[in-house]
Amino acid sequence: MKKQKICIIGNGLTGLTAALVLSELNIQIHLIGKFKFNGEFLDNRTTAISPSNYNFLLKFLDKKDSKLFWPSKKIDLYHEEYNRYFHFMNLENNGKNLMYIVRNSKLIKAILKKIKNQKKIKIVNREVEKIDEKKSKIFLKNKTINYDSIFLCVGRRSKLVQELVGARIVSDDLSDIAFTSIIKHNLNIINSKQYFLKEGPLAILPLNKKECSLVWSVSKNYKSDITEDLIREKLKKIIGLDKKINFSKIDFFPISFKFNTNFFKKNILVLGEGSYNIHPIAGQGYNLILRDIKTLRAEIVKHLSCGMQLRDSGVLNNFVIKRKPENFLFGLGISLMSGFFKHNKITQPIKNVILKDINKFKFLKNFSINLSNKGFSH
């Protein structure tokens, strides 16, 4: 049987990860997008990966790449009350790692380096102009190519996503902005911390003993107020960081919960941010994507092992049946959780009572840890 051919469109973490994970199968892969192979990736964002997803991803990376990830065994949660910060919960799992934190730019570099040496992956450093959904054909400048399956790993605002699956979405305009920066410091911060401040949740994620990632999700009304001096002042108050720390450039991006009701059409599947966006408060975005790719790989393996064609098969439909409910529930649940922690003078006293006792419920903590690690269906 002729080797089947798939196309992955996208130069971000989703497309690169999908290409890497599928590269060991007996299929030909074209990875299409505008890629940087040299120079620095100017991205302050970081990703927290659950243990199960970390173990899965590491199977496809070089062994030495494990050094890129910083293990965090514990998450301490704090809540702001009357300009004070009280510790209301700690999440830990009998000394086991709860998450592995990595800079997006370093992970992208590691995956790019790996896939460049994969014979089954052809990198096409160009932009896709159009897709013919009926014939599973893509149009490049002066060239057209037919595929058995096409995976769109681009953002929801991409015209390719809009044209193929439309704009039928479930959404919640959270009106939040996430500020990110890398902090160099002289403190020995080895585990993660999350502070629920009146402006919004602030996460401190260690990358090594001397660097942390800062992610502060605030209402867009505060956007113009966030400066390096304000962040420094907040950090000094909550964990005692002094003026010896250095910040990288402070970046920001909008936060929303958006869920596209259409994941696929015929032989074309939308993966990653083109199908859903969720709040970063729980660090589940890339974890959901990894579970998506893991499920997609299993469905493709099942069909190939039976000698079946990918084109016009049930692969994409089976994938959507398995992944769509979990992705929606995670996104909705995290959106509701972020709403619970928003500062509100009326509900604040009730919230304070709940949070002061919540650490006693071990079953709730264990449920949260297991859900974050493996999701509903794994």
- As a whole number, mean pLDDT of residues 239-253 equals 75
Query: Does 333 score more than 80 pLDDT?
Result: yes
User: Taking 90 as the threshold, does the pLDDT of residue 308 lie above it?
Assistant: no
Tokens representing 75 are 């998450």
Helix (H, G, I), strand (E, B) or coil at 329: helix
Q: Pull the structure tokens for residue 297.
A: 């790989």
Q: How far is CA 254 from CA 54, 178, 277, in A?
A: 27, 6, 10
The runs of H, that is alpha helices, within the chain are: 13-22, 51-58, 104-115, 159-165, 228-239, 285-305, 315-340, 348-358, 362-374
Please say if the pLDDT value at position 250 is more than 80: yes
- Taking alpha carbons only, the member of 306, 264, 266 closest to residue 148 is 266
Query: Is pLDDT at 339 greater than 60 in this prediction?
Result: yes
Rg (CA), the chain: 21
For the chain, give the mean pLDDT.
86
Asked whether residue 31 carries a pLDDT value surpassing 70, the answer given is yes
Would strands 268-270 and 149-152 be described as parallel, antiparallel, or unpaired? parallel
CA nearest to 93, candidates 51, 60, 64, 129: 51
For the chain, the straight-line distance linking the first and the last C-alpha, in angstroms and rounded, comes to 33
Amino acid at 103: R
User: What three-state secondary structure class fits 294?
Assistant: helix
pLDDT value for 53: 96
Query: Can you tell me the distance from the alpha carbon of 310 to that of 317, in angstroms, rounded to the nearest whole number?
Result: 12
Q: What is the pTM of this model?
A: 0.91
pLDDT at 302: 93
pLDDT in tens, 171-229: 666 678 888 989 888 777 889 999 988 888 999 999 998 899 999 998 777 777 888 88
20 vs 133, more confident: 20
Closest CA to 139 of 128, 126, 153: 128
What pLDDT score does 371 carry? 87
Q: Is the pLDDT at 345 greater than 80, yes or no? A: no
pLDDT value at position 263?
A: 84
pLDDT at residue 40 tops 60: no
What residues are paired with 277 via a beta bridge? 258
- Classify strands 137-140 and 246-247 as parallel, antiparallel or unpaired: unpaired
The architecture of the domain spanning 4-172+255-374 is: 3-Layer(bba) Sandwich (3.50)
* 3-class secondary structure, 118: coil
Whole-angstrom Cα distance, residue 76 to residue 51? Answer: 18
Does residue 350 have a pLDDT over 80? no
